[in-house]
């Protein structure tokens, strides 16, 4: 695993933050519900397993992408018209990016990593 990193992200309109697969996508509108959904997606492989099952050849999917971080934390809050998100995890950026895309599509922006 990687070292623990803190990611700072934003989503302009949380009500439009939807992933490509409707059955895996975030369905709420509040920052708290998004934080809970992303935190669950990082702490367990459940979302990734559901995505893997939808692939044409699930056995060909790299199982390393199913890694999880039981200690991951996510905070989200409304700031003006957008949502600010802070993620603390030891998962690699590639896994965070994949889970974010499943939940919110490409509506999020990464601002900083510490």
Residue 2 pLDDT greater than 70, yes or no: no
For the chain, what is the radius of gyration of the CA atoms? 13
Q: CA 110, CA 114: separation in Å to the nearest integer?
A: 12
Dihedral angle of Cα 15, 19, 21, 22, to the nearest 10 degrees? -10
Domain coverage including residue 42: 5-113
- Say how far residue 36 (Cα) sits from the centre of its chain: 10
The model's pLDDT over 26-85, given as tens digits with 9 standing for 90+, comes to: 999 999 999 999 999 999 999 999 999 999 999 999 999 999 999 999 999 999 889 999
Place of tokens 């957008």: 82
pTM of the model: 0.95
β-strand pairing of 5-11 with 108-113: antiparallel
């Amino acid at each position: 695993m990687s070292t623990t990193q803190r990611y700072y992200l934003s989503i302009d309109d949380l009500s439009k933050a939807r992933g490509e697969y409707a059955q895996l996508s975030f369905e709420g509108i509040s920052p708290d519900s998004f934080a809970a959904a992303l935190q669950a997606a990082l702490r367990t492989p459940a979302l990734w397993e559901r995505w893997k099952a939808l692939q044409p050849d699930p056995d060909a999917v790299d199982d390393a992408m199913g890694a999880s971080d039981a200690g991951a934390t996510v905070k989200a809050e409304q700031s003006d018209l957008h949502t600010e998100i802070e993620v603390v995890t030891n998962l690699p950026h590639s896994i965070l990016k994949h889970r974010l895309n499943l939940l919110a599509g490409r509506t999020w922006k990464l601002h900083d990593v510490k």
